[in-house]
Structures are given as C-alpha cells and as structure tokens.
C-alpha cells in the first residue's frame, strides 16, 4: 500500500479535512532505524502530522524542519520535509523500550516526556518562519494541536495513530485532521467534535478501511469541495555535496584530527542508511 494524503473541504466549506495513510512511510523508518514499537509510534505520529504540515507549504521547494525535544528516554524526535511531501525523520534512541500503558497502548507520552516542540519553515528567499510551544503530554496529537492554536492561530482537531504488529512492522498508520476556517459555526464545530470521537483508534481504521473507506463511511455526506490526492513518501535528500558542506563547516583542523586517528572521515546520514567516506585526499580536495 502506498502512502496517501487526501484533502478536501467539509461541513459547508468551514473545515479543511485531511486524511493520511502513512503505513509505508513508517515501515521505511522502522527499516532504516531499527525502531522499537514505542519509537515507531512516536516517530510515525510525528511524521504523519509533519506530512500534513508540509502539505500546507506554499511551494514544493519550501522546507519544514520539526523537532520534538522531550526529556524522556526516547530523546529528541527530528522530522524534515518539503512541499513535495518528501519526508524523513529520526529519533535519538531508536531502541527505547518502556512498559505499555494500563490500557495496553504504547506509552508514547512516557517515551517522549516533557519539553518543547519547534517548527521551522524555510520559504525561498524570505526569512524562515519559526514557532514553538511546550509539549502537552508527549502523545504528539495534543502537542501539535496546541502548537497550531498558539503559534499559527489555527484551531485543529488531530487524531494520529501507529499500530505495530507482533513482528515489529507497522500494520496501520495515519491520521485524520480537521482544521477550522475562520467562519466555522458553532453547529459545525460540535459536529467535528462528535466525529473526532470515532477516531480514537485511527490506526485500526486505516488498517481496515483505508483512506477511501474512512471518507466513504464518515465524511461522504459532508464533502463540499473536490478531493485532492497526494503521494507522500519517505525520502532522504542527502548527497555527497551536502555532506561536503557539513564537513567544511567543521574546519580543516578537526578533519585532520579525525584522519590522524581513524585514517578516514566517515559520515552516517542521520535519516537514511547511506554512509559517506572521505579519504585524506578527499579532505585535502575540500580545501583547495
């Protein structure tokens, strides 16, 4: 199954509806980082909401950079994306393993802990936009709801879910997000609150119904605009030139020290499994 994001307007054009299936993206992240179930859920939920956030960027070239920096055992979650919905992400401690919550769910809030969520959007030549808010509970959905409300003055309702099977693979991941437009009426706000109660297990709904099935079952009668479909993907944009830029910023002295000790400079990309190796000659070349 391919990743999918579907957007349209609902409830008399007063709410923007986004439904995401990010199962494949989460499985790619699990494969790259060897994530534990709780780390998969934390990174997967963040990548899902960041895919939604990237779909709001004005141009395909605009970039998004999000960190969820909590004090829990998972450490920091980092997710990057762009207007083309090419997403990538990483966590500090991919192997973190903590007990399930009493209700049997993965304890994402316990793994993330308390801290801050920061969003940077870089848009062409303009100054990057940067916003930040304190985490509510580390469960990601509420944290981003608060972020949107205080930093972007946009009331949104967010349901996110990542379900991990017994083999450690993701069997269903995605989200349902309803964003209120400025003229949303009380009557429709109540409707949205009620419909969101259906998505406490959104990962199971993605697994069993898929994006189209969710629309059919819950939103068909309420759609008031055309449906636009996107194909997000896990894609790292690292390259040897990009890594060269990072190495140059470290300074020649630092690189010479590494060459002295290790014989080469090895750089592992944070977001994919690519490794970049620079020999003594390559390093000399950088400074020509």
Task: Give me the residues that bind Zn ion (CB under 5 A), please.
Answer: 236, 238, 269, 271-272, 274
Closest separation between CB of residue 34 and Zn ion, Å? 16
CA dist., res. 158 & res. 18, Å (int): 10
Cβ-based nearer residue to Zn ion, 169 or 274: 274
Closest separation between CB of residue 87 and Zn ion, Å? 12
Query: Quick one: the chain helix, strand, coil %, rounded to 5?
Result: 40, 30, 35
Cβ-based nearer residue to Zn ion, 85 or 272: 272
CA dist., res. 25 & res. 235, Å (int): 9
Considering only CA atoms, which of 157, 172, 137, 140 is closest in space to residue 66? Answer: 140
Closest separation between CB of residue 210 and Zn ion, Å? 29
CA dist., res. 229 & res. 183, Å (int): 25
For residues 41 and 55, is the Cβ–Cβ distance under 8 A? no
Cβ-based nearer residue to Zn ion, 7 or 33: 33
Q: What does residue 84 show for φ and ψ, rounded to 5 degrees?
A: -85, 0
Closest separation between CB of residue 238 and Zn ion, Å? 3
Cβ-based nearer residue to Zn ion, 76 or 235: 235
Closest separation between CB of residue 10 and Zn ion, Å? 37
Closest separation between CB of residue 274 and Zn ion, Å? 5
Q: What does residue 52 show for φ and ψ, rounded to 5 degrees?
A: -60, -45
Cβ-based nearer residue to Zn ion, 271 or 278: 271
For residues 47 and 25, is the Cβ–Cβ distance under 8 A? yes
From residue 56, alpha-carbon distances to 123, 155, 278 in Å are 12, 15, 38
For residues 209 and 172, is the Cβ–Cβ distance under 8 A? no
Q: Is 115 left (phi over 0), alpha (psi -120 to 50) or beta?
A: left
Closest separation between CB of residue 84 and Zn ion, Å? 16
Cβ-based nearer residue to Zn ion, 26 or 272: 272
Cβ-based nearer residue to Zn ion, 103 or 249: 249
């Amino acid at each position: 199954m391919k990743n999918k994001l579907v957007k349209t307007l609902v409830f008399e054009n007063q709410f923007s509806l986004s439904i995401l299936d990010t199962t494949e993206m989460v499985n790619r992240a699990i494969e790259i980082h060897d994530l534990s179930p709780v780390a998969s859920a934390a990174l997967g939920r963040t990548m899902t909401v960041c895919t939604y956030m990237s779909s709001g960027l004005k141009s395909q070239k605009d970039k998004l950079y999000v960190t969820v920096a909590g004090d829990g055992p998972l450490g920091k979650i980092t997710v990057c994306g762009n207007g083309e919905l090419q997403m990538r992400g990483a966590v500090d401690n991919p192997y973190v393993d903590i007990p399930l919550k009493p209700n049997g769910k993965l304890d994402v809030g316990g793994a993330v802990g308390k801290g801050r969520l920061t969003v940077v959007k870089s848009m062409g030549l303009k100054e990057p936009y940067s916003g930040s808010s304190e985490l509510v509970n580390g469960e990601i959905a509420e944290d981003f709801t608060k972020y949107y409300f205080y930093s972007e003055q946009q009331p949104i309702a967010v349901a996110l879910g990542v379900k991990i099977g017994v083999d450690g693979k993701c069997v269903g991941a995605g989200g349902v997000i309803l964003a209120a437009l400025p003229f949303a009426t009380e009557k429709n706000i109540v409707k949205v609150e009620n419909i969101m109660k259906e998505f406490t297990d959104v990962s199971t709904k993605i697994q069993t119904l898929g994006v189209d099935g969710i629309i059919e079952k819950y939103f068909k009668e309420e759609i008031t605009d055309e449906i636009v479909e996107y194909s997000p993907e896990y894609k790292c944009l690292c390259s040897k030139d990009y890594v060269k830029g990072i190495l140059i910023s470290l300074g020649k002295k630092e690189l010479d020290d590494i060459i002295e000790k290790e014989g080469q400079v090895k750089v592992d990309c944070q977001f994919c499994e690519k490794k970049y190796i620079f020999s003594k000659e390559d390093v000399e070349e950088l400074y020509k």
